Amino acid sequence: MNIVVCVKQVPDTAAQVVVENGQVTWGDAPLVINPWDEFAVEAALQLAKEHGGSVTVLTMGDESAKEAIKHALAMGCKQAVRIEGPADADTLVTAQVLAAAIQKIGDVDLVTFGRQAIDGDNGVTPAMVGRFLGWPVFSLSATIPEIADGVVTVQRATEEGRQVVEGKLPAIFSFGKDIGEPRYPSFMGIRKASRAKVPVWTLDDLGLSALLPAVSWPEVMNPPKREITTEIIEGDSPADIAEKLADKIMAEKVL
Amino acid sequence: MSEKIWVYVDQFKGEALPASWEAVHAARALAENLGGGVTALVFGQGVESLAQTAIHYGADEILLADDSTLADYRGEAYAATLAKLASEGKPQAILFPTTTRGRELAAMTAADLKVGVMPDVTALEVQDGRIVATRPVYAGKLLAKVVSRTDPQIFTLRVRAFGKPALDESRTGTVTSVEAVLSEEEIPTRVVNYLQSEGGVSLTDASVIVSGGRGTSNNPSLTPPPDITDEKEQEIWRAQQGFKLIGELADTLGGAVGASRAAVDAGYIPYSHQVGQTGKVVSPDLYIACGISGAIQHLAGMRTSKVIVAINKDPEAPIFKVARFGVVGDLYDIVPALNEAMKKRLGK
Ligand SMILES: Cc1cc2nc3c(=O)[nH]c(=O)nc-3n(C[C@H](O)[C@H](O)[C@H](O)COP(=O)(O)OP(=O)(O)OC[C@H]3O[C@@H](n4cnc5c(N)ncnc54)[C@H](O)[C@@H]3O)c2cc1C
Ligand SMILES: Nc1ncnc2c1ncn2[C@@H]1O[C@H](COP(=O)(O)O)[C@@H](O)[C@H]1O
């Protein structure tokens, strides 16, 4: 089975991301694989093990995206491709580029994604790629898909609980935490990954001409500082504190 | 271009999610600003009554696709129908609630129409006749103004960011039936079954959330039953006693139970309760954090709550920096006492 996993490189969750002189910056905080994409890699590796086949890591990003690729390779993916994409890509552009790359890789049976990239917080790319390829989309898959005779069965997470859905391959999946913790890279994996040669494709290689993003960010701001004065509630006993706190909560008129 | 604002009504088994009406509310405000009308899209099977409710909440016109192929939400069937309607009707914008279905459908529709999509926005304004949205990015560490140069402009609206409209049963509007575009054979997926969820108030809709963290396991005076001998199991048992207290307080306040990742990872409570960057992003009117330190990833999920209350033993815990009210104390003392005090005030 031919599996592709799409990963993105993002600033670490602990990074202090701020706007300085109109520029988004996270200082010297490390760049890491998008945390949700680790679940996508985990799912891909489990599927490859179960059904035979290999996993190709696909990312669109500049040179610096190598950390994300390395992490996925170190977890056990066999090869990787990096697309040198436009720096101003929105999700519409990203999805078209990834779809074209998946077609170029060829004979792909399924593609796994993370549910959301924690920089832009869009959570739309998997569904868009699915539409560009004309493949069914299983967003927010909560289990490792079961596959028999080209038919997939998977549980999807929704507000109301889980929806059990079936469909045919090739297909698109996005994953979150429900499938269980992603594996750690092994020492062997890390060594292999550091030696891996990652081919770089350009838009030309994908037969795409310059793609104009639809969505732009004319302004990025630090959120307004919330002026919060914390009032520490003290008292003689828990009951006394609770009474005072209850009065304060009632006075806020939020109930 | 028409100044029509379209809005998608997300429903499950004939019941609309409350966020759908918030989206109708936002659509109404935009339409009034732009001098146009609101068209609500109601898809499903046996959902005519939702069309009337949408009118009562502020829609002028309904496009109703009522068909057996639309009985269960399936992105492929819904998007094909929506994209066809939009390419004919040419709305200026389509608003969706940011529900799991709404976000997926917005993405699929945008791809079909080859236009941009702006998910999970918290504010909308009109500048020179174009809609500009504000959306939190980097887990709310920054706010971005976003605009799309393509039409229709597609947005999904963050739950609870736009307020709910008043129901006006005297409002009238037109309902137009439209066809589903795909036949059953053309739809590549099939819904086999639904599995029960745990129930309770949904976190993202809740106006009150009481959350527990790793601190819930810290009550040495509790003695686990003798048949629990494993240390890890004992810890989980202790934490669950803490979450019981938290659940009781949440019940009294008509709210939902949240948790930190540490509590989820340690097995105290299922993942569906996790609040934070890799859990749910919530913005209730009241958020009570019990035994939660306030790590940056947790704050990312709750910092826009209106009133935050922190109960923590450690006066240095970072959660106090975002809290309106703080209690430096043991959650095992404070939470049950607060429950009693609130019960009295709420007449429960
Ligand atoms: C990629 C990534 C994603 C993450 N995503 C999330 C996320 O979505 N959500 C999230 O919450 N975290 C997330 N985290 C984890 C986060 O960094 C913290 O580890 C976590 O939030 C800590 O949980 P906690 O506050 O319950 O535990 P701790 O930090 O251990 O804090 C426990 C607190 O309880 C207090 N306490 C102890 N006993 C009592 C008592 N009896 N009464 C009162 N107070 C008591 C202590 O003083 C302490 O402040 C993420 C981390 C990473 C790396
Ligand atoms: N530049 C990219 N390269 C590869 N995969 C991506 C890229 N951007 C997004 N993705 C994938 O799409 C998912 C959702 O991203 P987003 O829609 O941007 O939130 C991510 O978790 C990745 O799996």
CATH code at A132? 3.40.50.620
**Low-confidence residues of chain A: pLDDT under 70:** none
Domain-embedded: residue A219: no
Ligand 2 atom nearest A34 alpha carbon: 21
Which candidate from A92, A138, A159 shows the least CB-CB separation from B99?
A159
Domain-embedded: residue A114: yes
Pocket test for ligand 1, best of B221, B246, B260 (most atoms within 8 A of CB): B260
Q: Can you list the domains of chain B with their CATH numbers?
A: 4-186 (3.40.50.620), 208-346 (3.40.50.1220)
User: Cβ(B107)–Cβ(A127) under 8 Å?
Assistant: yes
Burial class for B205, CB neighbours closer than 10 Å (0-12, 13-18, 19+): middle
CA distances from B171 to A130, B16, B60, B315 (A): 40, 19, 9, 54
Domain-embedded: residue A246: no
Listed in sequence order, the residues at least 6 apart from B316 whose beta carbon sits closer than 8 Å to its beta carbon are none
Residues contacting ligand 1 via CB (< 6 Å): A 13, 35; B 213-215, 218-219, 260-263, 274-279, 291-293, 295, 297-298, 301, 311-314, 317, 330-332
Domain-embedded: residue A194: yes
- Ligand positioned closest to the Cα atom of B297: 1
Query: What ipTM was assigned to the predicted interfaces of this complex?
Result: 0.96
Domain-embedded: residue A232: no
Nearest CA in chain B to A25: B142
Ligand 1 atom nearest B212 alpha carbon: 26
Question: Which pLDDT value is given to residue B198?
Answer: 62
Confidence of residue B200 (pLDDT cuts 50, 70, 90): low
Average pLDDT value over all residues in chain B: 96
Which candidate from A118, A164, A177 shows the least CB-CB separation from B193?
A164
For ligand 2, is residue A175 a contact (CB within 6 Å)?
no
Residue B15: strand, helix, or coil = strand
Measured in angstroms, the CA of A50 and the nearest CA of chain B are apart by 23
Partner B contacted by A29 (CB < 8 A):
no
**Number of domains composing chain A:** 1
- Report the alpha-carbon distance of residue B117 to residue B82 in Å, rounded: 15
Pairing verdict, β A23-25 and A31-33: unpaired
Domain-embedded: residue A215: no
Domain-embedded: residue A112: yes
Measured in angstroms, the CA of B326 and the nearest CA of chain A are apart by 5
Measured in angstroms, the CA of A62 and the nearest CA of chain B are apart by 19
Listed in sequence order, the residues at least 6 apart from A250 whose beta carbon sits closer than 8 Å to its beta carbon are B345
Partner B contacted by A113 (CB < 8 A):
no
**Chain A to chain B, count of Cβ pairs less than 8 Å apart?**
264
* pLDDT (average), residues B12-29: 97
CB pair distance less than 8 Å for A238 and B341 = no
Name the H helices within chain B. Answer: 18-34, 48-57, 75-89, 100-113, 231-253, 261-265, 296-302, 319-322, 331-346
Q: For residue B1, is pLDDT > 80?
A: no
Pocket test for ligand 1, best of B278, B303, B319, B331 (most atoms within 8 A of CB): B278
Lowest mean pLDDT segment, chosen from B38-42, B93-97, B131-135, B204-208: B204-208
Domain-embedded: residue A225: no
Question: Which pLDDT value is given to residue B196?
Answer: 75
Structural domain span for residue A54: 2-202
B233-290 pLDDT, tens digit per residue, is 999 999 999 999 999 999 999 999 999 999 999 999 999 999 999 999 999 999 999 9
Question: Of all protein residues, whose CA lies closest to atom 39 belonging to ligand 1?
Answer: B215
Q: For residue B306, is pLDDT > 80?
A: yes
Distance (Å) from CA A2 to ligand 2 centroid = 19
CB pair distance less than 8 Å for A124 and B117 = yes
pTM exceeds 0.90 for this model: yes
Portion 70-99 of A in contact with B at CB < 8 A: 90-92, 95
Question: Which pLDDT value is given to residue B243?
Answer: 98
Query: HSE of A151 in the Cβ direction (CA atoms, 13 Å)?
Result: 8
Q: For residue B2, is pLDDT > 60?
A: no
CB pair distance less than 8 Å for B150 and A214 = yes
* pLDDT (average), residues B314-331: 98
- Report the alpha-carbon distance of residue A174 to residue A39 in Å, rounded: 9
User: Cβ(B1)–Cβ(B151) under 8 Å?
Assistant: yes
Confidence of residue B3 (pLDDT cuts 50, 70, 90): confident
Q: For residue B23, is pLDDT > 60?
A: yes
Q: What percent of chain B has pLDDT over 70?
A: 99
B62-92 pLDDT, tens digit per residue, is 999 999 999 999 999 999 999 999 999 999 9
* Tokens describing residue B181: 């575009």
Distance (Å) from CA A125 to ligand 2 centroid = 6
A23, A124, A153: best to mutate for the B interface, most B CBs within 10 A: A124
CB pair distance less than 8 Å for B278 and A254 = no
A48-59 pLDDT, tens digit per residue, is 999 999 999 999
Lowest mean pLDDT segment, chosen from B149-158, B188-197, B293-302: B188-197
